Structure 1
Amino acid sequence: MNTYISAQQTFSEEKKAIRKTGVLIVNLGTPDSPSVPDVRKYLRQFLMDERVIDIPYVNRWLLINLIIAPFRAPKSAKIYKQLWRPDGSPLKIYGFSVKEKLQRVLGDDYIVELAMRYQSPSIESGLKALRKHTLSEIVVVPFFPQYASASTGSVYKEVMEVVKDWEVLPEIRFVNRFLDHPKFIEGFANLGKKYMAQREYDHFVFSYHGLPERQITKGDVTGNFCQFGTCCDKLDERNQHCYRAQCFETTRLLVKEMQIPEGKYTTCFQSRLGKNPWIKPYTDEVIPELTKKGVKNALAFSPAFVADCLETTIEVGEEYKEIFEKAGGQHWQLVESLNDSDIWIEALEDLITKPAV
């Protein structure tokens, strides 16, 4: 009997020894530099994704290549220059730092690679690097807390496009979302509490990246549940994949963790593009309304992002601060993202090693 148990233990140890897991962490992307040509190249790749701008190809090509990229690139390049650090893009800097920290935490049984959905390092290059190893599994972690077709869904599609012709395919597991992961919530809440200990805030703004309403409607498999109203008041099996509902749920979890009273917070959406309706309320319209109600000190969160970038540092941190102050507000404070914090590394370790059942 003891011989049998010993043989089983030896087999398990040998199996463990040959099992290696690849980890591909993926963020949205960033231009290679803040120069106009590099920004234009980034915008073209990003906005030509059919999951980002979901209109017919010819219309999309004309819109991006003849209107948006030529005219928006010079303006965006100026903003990227404000954001850029001496050693590069913050999004990429934090990405490589997370990769290194996560590799140390996970150890030799894991191989971690960083990729960007758009530009470099590409998903293709990340998967190519992982393919060199004898892997039992690849875990893909899109850095988007809430699922959306234009972000997480696009990563899924690109990964499968790259691996579809591989002769040998290891098991591939995707992390779909992590808005309710305890360490994700705790991480943002702790950052918020740091500022709340320094000053009294009379309102809390939770600003998420927006999406066109048509993309939310297309994702409603019931065909009739999504009404852009009370349907987002709770997250259940009917709207579990709805980006807007997931954002409201993220706010509820953060508010509970920070013990923010009802009536003292707002969920809203930023970064809209074009004239078609996007999910509401719009952050830039919410802010003046808050000041009319007497709000003087506001603490702003961007919980759709895990690393500081143009949409957080510049849009929420500076542009919305200017709107707030011009409308009569006194103090606007952006809560930074999780970036490469220890609690974010702990959250990632959990997501990779303890898959949800």
Structure 2
Amino acid sequence: MEATALQSPHTTATETTSKPVGKTGVLLVNLGTPDSPSVPHVRKYLREFLMDGRVIDIPYIPRFLLVNGIIAPFRAPKSAKIYRELWNENGSPLKHYGYVVTKLVQEQLGDDYVVQLAMRYQSPSIDAGLAQFQQLGLNNIVVVPFFPQYASASTGSVYEKVMDILKTWQVIPQVRFVNRFLEHPKFIEGFAERGRKYMNEREYDHYLFSYHGLPERQIRKGDVDKTVCKFGECCASLRPDNQHCYRAQCFETTRRLVKELGIPEGKYTTSFQSRLGNDPWIKPYTDDEIKLFAGKGIKSVLAFSPAFVADCLETTIEVGEEYRELFEEHGGEHWQLVESLNDSPLWIEAVVDMVKKS
């Protein structure tokens, strides 16, 4: 099984010396969502998600006790209430757009490909998607984790899950992974197109680029020789020595979007949201930055969430509603969330291109 890095600026996957024979299976993988906003389904989702050793990277027994004894029982009712706010006539937006994108990508790729949607946690499962490929006898598989920036807790977890399943097969197919796609022009153009819609309607004092956070310890673990990661100016550029750092990749994503949108220096902030627990997470924290905006004379903000390709709880609720309320509490006047790529034609083109070039 091949799973090495491609040196393309847009994707990282396996190079092959000859074209694959027969149909190619394409597994599009997003993080996941509860099957419904009910407390039992949310609790089930939280348990599966947080028991992943790449998400909460502590030994199994304390992780089991933490998740099943504290987090899932007490957090599930509160989270279920928030998921009910997120749910719409199509159910979970993340899953809905996942199916829409899968259909559109299948149409674009044609009959030489079999495209399946999977979630790292809950349904449709990675197991089911790969089982379909196995039943069809496909010998070539492309796995596309829907995470623009690589992190062990997201892309790395998908890799691990796929390989854990495939290692049990008697015949292991050729597998190629997309590692990240923050550099892909159509990914950048897609978010820029979403942002311009609001920028054309009014002027904004400031632009916020908020990414999902990670514990600092997880970033340090990725710094193999322990010489690169300083959680500061080391992220001022994306280089060979820090290319695997999630924080550096997020700052690079912002730089590319800022350039595409023509946003001047000093008018934008890169920050990180959704921290959990008492350990230090990567900074700056989004909520702390928002509290400072009014004191800087910032009254209107256009907020991007470029770590997510589909709207979900972290975008619609956390950035779109909770951060708006926080901004207004501290003197802000106008807050606007830029939607995720969802089913944007540019996003469909980006996925098709990544599959074909992998």
**Fold shared, TM-score > 0.5 on shorter chain:** yes
Aligned partners of 1:230 and 1:128: how far apart in 2?
Answer: 45
**Counterpart of 2:149 in 1: which secondary structure?**
coil
Aligned to 1:50: 53
> 1:88-167, aligned counterparts within 5 Å?
88-167=91-170
Deviation for aligned residue 1:344 = 0.5
> 1:26-37, aligned counterparts within 5 Å?
26-37=29-40
Query: Could you tell me the TM-score, scaled by structure 1's length?
Result: 0.94
Counterpart check, 1:312 vs 2:315: yes
Confirm or deny: 8 A CA contact 1:299 1:332 kept in the other structure: yes
Aligned to 2:24: 21
Query: Could you tell me the TM-score, scaled by structure 2's length?
Result: 0.94
Question: Using a 3 Å threshold, how does the CA distance of structure 1 residues 219 and 17 change in structure 2: closer, same or farther?
Answer: closer
Deviation for aligned residue 1:131 = 1.2
Higher relative contact order (CA 8 A, sep 6+): 2
Aligned to 1:60: 63
Counterpart check, 1:350 vs 2:353: yes
C-alpha distance after superposition, 1:216-254 (max 9, x if no partner): 001001212100000000000110000000000000000
Aligned to 1:269: 272
Aligned partners of 1:282 and 1:211: how far apart in 2?
Answer: 11
- Which ranges of 4 or more aligned residues in structure 1 deviate by more than 6 Å? none
Counterpart check, 1:172 vs 2:172: no
Percent of aligned positions that are identical: 71
Confirm or deny: 8 A CA contact 2:20 2:140 kept in the other structure: no
Aligned partners of 1:174 and 1:186: how far apart in 2?
Answer: 23
Name the Cα RMSD after superposition: 1.1
Aligned partners of 1:255 and 1:16: how far apart in 2?
Answer: 38
Aligned partners of 1:324 and 1:311: how far apart in 2?
Answer: 16
State which structure, 1 or 2, has the greater radius of gyration over its C-alpha atoms.
1
What code does the residue aligned with 1:173 have? R
Aligned to 2:207: 204
**Counterpart of 2:336 in 1: which secondary structure?**
strand
Deviation for aligned residue 1:288 = 1.1
Aligned partners of 2:211 and 2:68: how far apart in 1?
Answer: 27
C-alpha distance after superposition, 1:253-312 (max 9, x if no partner): 000000000000000000000010000000000001111100001000000000000000
Confirm or deny: 8 A CA contact 1:306 1:338 kept in the other structure: yes
What code does the residue aligned with 1:296 have? K
Aligned to 1:216: 219
Aligned partners of 1:16 and 1:349: how far apart in 2?
Answer: 17
Confirm or deny: 8 A CA contact 1:20 1:134 kept in the other structure: no
